[in-house]
Amino acid sequence: MAVIENIQFIEKEIEGKGVTLVAVSKTKPVEMLMEAYNAGFRRFGENYVQELVDKHELMPKDIEWHFIGHLQSNKVKYIASFVSLIHSVDSLKLLQEINKQATKNNRVIACLLQIYIAEEDTKSGMTEEECLEIMKAETLEKLQNVRIVGLMGMTTLTDDETQIRKEFKKLKDFYQTLTFNPQRLPHPSLTILSMGMSGDYGIAIEEGSTIIRVGSKIFGGRIYQK
Ligand SMILES: *Cc1c(COP(=O)(O)O)cnc(C)c1O
């Protein structure tokens, strides 16, 4: 199936559910992204800074670029002028660097804190305790050029639906704890729960996801080259 048909299929599935689709286009050529763009789609997710910079340069400027991969502090400067939402903030140090680069670019950059929910140690993210530490008013007051708008999480790589559901539930519970404690936040701004990929977005939506990040189900499998 063609890219745009896959997107339309998923858009139909999520219609009326308050869920936004991000098309994860890492490793895929600009031509494939342009198929989606030419059909009116504007929201892409990328994992690698250099690839994102290249695609941003080559493609039309009304695209909403989401950064979803592990982000090194020293590379924030390359995407700070244009990135729409960074899903993968996994430390205070990284958040401080995003704030610094956002200030230089005279912007406020929207960020999600990536929370560690999987039962394997290959997935990055922060613990709930680290997140609570960052969400303190004293910390956020010093970070005027970032806005934390929600949380992101990735489940264990498994076919066990019960396990996946349990991990999504855990993230949703934590999200609600944060949302319903507005005294902790100078801006009660949490509206996004980014969870769900090609294999598990159905469960993620049932468990309260508001952004799904779908790659292979739109663009096909990925081949990684060295
Ligand atoms: C690659 C990736 C996705 C998309 O994965 P698919 O299984 O291809 O849908 C989503 N989120 C993150 C963080 C990713 O790295």
pLDDT tens-digit series, residues 172-204: 999 998 887 656 555 557 899 999 999 999 999
Please give the span between the terminal C-alpha atoms of the chain, in angstroms, as a whole number.
28
Structure token digits, residue 80? 């700070």
Question: What local confidence, expressed as pLDDT, does residue 178 receive?
Answer: 87
At residue 125 the predicted structure's pLDDT band, cuts being 50, 70 and 90, is very high
Binding-site residues, ligand 1, Cβ < 6 A? 24, 26, 47, 68-69, 154, 197-199, 213-217
**Superfamily of domain covering 3-219:** Alanine racemase (3.20.20.10)
Question: What ranges do the domains of the chain cover?
Answer: 3-219
DSSP, res 157: S
pLDDT given at position 222: 85
Distance, CA 126 to ligand 1 centroid (Å)? 18
pLDDT tens string 73-123:
999 999 999 999 999 999 999 999 999 999 999 999 999 999 999 887 666
Q: Which spans in 3-152 are helix H?
A: 3-14, 30-38, 49-58, 76-79, 92-104, 128-134, 137-141
Determine the distance separating the centroid of ligand 1 and the alpha carbon of 137, expressed in angstroms.
Answer: 32
